[in-house]
Amino acid sequence: MHGGDAMEELVRVETHGSLALVALNRPEKRNALNPLMLQQLHQHLLQLSQDPTVHVIILYGEGAGFCAGADLALLEQARKENNFQAFSEAEELLQECVKLLATCPKITMAAMHGFVLGSGLDLALACDLRVAAAGTQIAANNVRLGLVPDGGATWALPRLIGLGPAMAMLLSGDPVEAEGAYRLGLIHKRVHAGRHLEEAAAWGGELARCCWGAHAAIKRLARVDPRLTLEAALKEEREAQKRLFEDGLPSRSAGRTPS
């Protein structure tokens, strides 16, 4: 952890109506994640997940790229001192952020550009939707540091793009550009360079006009244990639908969000 960071806003949040824009704000360090930054990110995500006025959370990076992964200074210090505890604490914070992005009742979206590496990829994979600018380099490069992914990539990648392509990314650490990532199904939209945040916000605005209660239920249902039987999944869907009716469905007109 760097001494100067203590006074900095390493994660910045802006809200625009029902959209929340969450910026990784450490551009001079390529938005590398250190414990303070992860603490701030977790705090903001927790608050936003409980805010009834927010329906979509968009995560993006300031500066040249989305996120370069974990702060290597922390890793080198842990190796030098043979102290896994400090690294483990940061790892735990990362995992808490991943779980919040994946399970909070809001639509979460990663707006990516430049580079999306290691733990940065973990954060992006935890989001429901991903938008990437042309030229974005995406890599699970943990293996090149002699490490395994510790923010869910070994779980998420095979489910998103299939075991074969996932193994190639995980074992090699080689980057995939936005166009290739789109073909693999790793990202949902690829956009012109410099337009990742604008396009993500436009998409988020469209989604926010739909019934947020249905979004929350769909997200929960889609992320249940994949070993769940079809019969059990159908039952879960019926129960979710019942709750939506009991809570009051919105008018069909313009897909308005219920007040």
pLDDT in tens, 19-74: 999 999 999 999 999 999 999 999 999 999 999 999 999 999 999 999 999 998 88
Q: What is the mean pLDDT of residues 1-27?
A: 83
Confidence of residue 84 (pLDDT cuts 50, 70, 90): confident
Two tokens, residue 80 = 């030098």
pLDDT in tens, 180-197: 999 999 999 999 999 999
pLDDT in tens, 105-157: 999 999 999 999 999 999 999 999 999 999 999 999 999 988 899 999 999 99
Read off the pTM: 0.88
CATH superfamily of 3-208: 2-enoyl-CoA Hydratase; Chain A, domain 1 (3.90.226.10)
